[in-house]
Amino acid sequence: MAAPTPASKIPKPTSRVVDNQLARALGCMPSFRGSLAGRPTYSAWAWGQLKDSQPAWLITISGGDLRKDGPVTITFDRGLEHLRSNVDGSAKADASYRIDPDPRSHNVLKGQIKGGVISLDQPATLHLLQNPLVAPEFTLARARMRLALKPDGTLSGIIGRLSAVG
């Protein structure tokens, strides 16, 4: 058994940022990169494990006539109920949820509908309480959003953030 390291040999904590380019290296691997065609491998696995215990995230779009171009208010909230899923694992359409009254998961953002696409007026920060057992909070800084209104009333699109790597 090795002798313990003397206190004088243990490095002192520093506030210096370590830049080892890990994000750049992992960002180059297709299995870690997300796309509109599919989820990254780890994220898909994690979602499969969490979705039945994850409180639903609710998006409310409000404004004048949502069939016309114009300003809208986009509200993100956490639901009190867990996500309801179809047999294939996709989110169940037309499910009803109650909004969690905790203000830490209430986000009100301004946006626009233009050509049937809803987008934010400017990058925003989303903050939602998540699954307390795994990831207690979710914060997405400098978020952007593009959601297309489909004829059946559903939305298709992406919510994410651009990040300069490299």
Q: Which residue has the higher pLDDT, 11 or 77?
A: 77
What is the pLDDT of the chain when averaged over all its residues?
A: 81
Percent of the chain with pLDDT over 90: 35
Q: What is the mean pLDDT of residues 39-59?
A: 81
Among the residue ranges 32-46, 53-67, 83-97, 122-136, the one predicted with the least confidence is 32-46
pLDDT tens sequence across 96-132 = 999 999 999 999 999 999 999 999 999 999 998 887 7
User: Does 160 score more than 80 pLDDT?
Assistant: yes
Residue 166: pLDDT band (50, 70, 90) is: very low
User: Does 55 score more than 60 pLDDT?
Assistant: yes
Q: What is the mean pLDDT of residues 35-41?
A: 72
Q: Which residue has the higher pLDDT, 94 or 73?
A: 73
Tell me which amino acid residue 52 is: D
3-state secondary structure 87-107: CCCCECCCCCCCECCCHHHCE
Residue 75: pLDDT band (50, 70, 90) is: very high
User: Does 21 score more than 80 pLDDT?
Assistant: no
Yes or no: say if 143 and 123 are a contact pair by the CB < 8 Å rule.
yes
d(CA 141, CA 123): 8
And the tokens for 68?
Answer: 């016309």
**89 φ/ψ angles, rounded to the nearest 5 degrees:** 95, -10
Q: Which of 3-17, 27-41, 86-100, 128-142 has the highest mean pLDDT?
A: 86-100
Q: What is the mean pLDDT of residues 41-60?
A: 82
- 32, with CB counted inside 10 A (0-12, 13-18, 19+), is middle
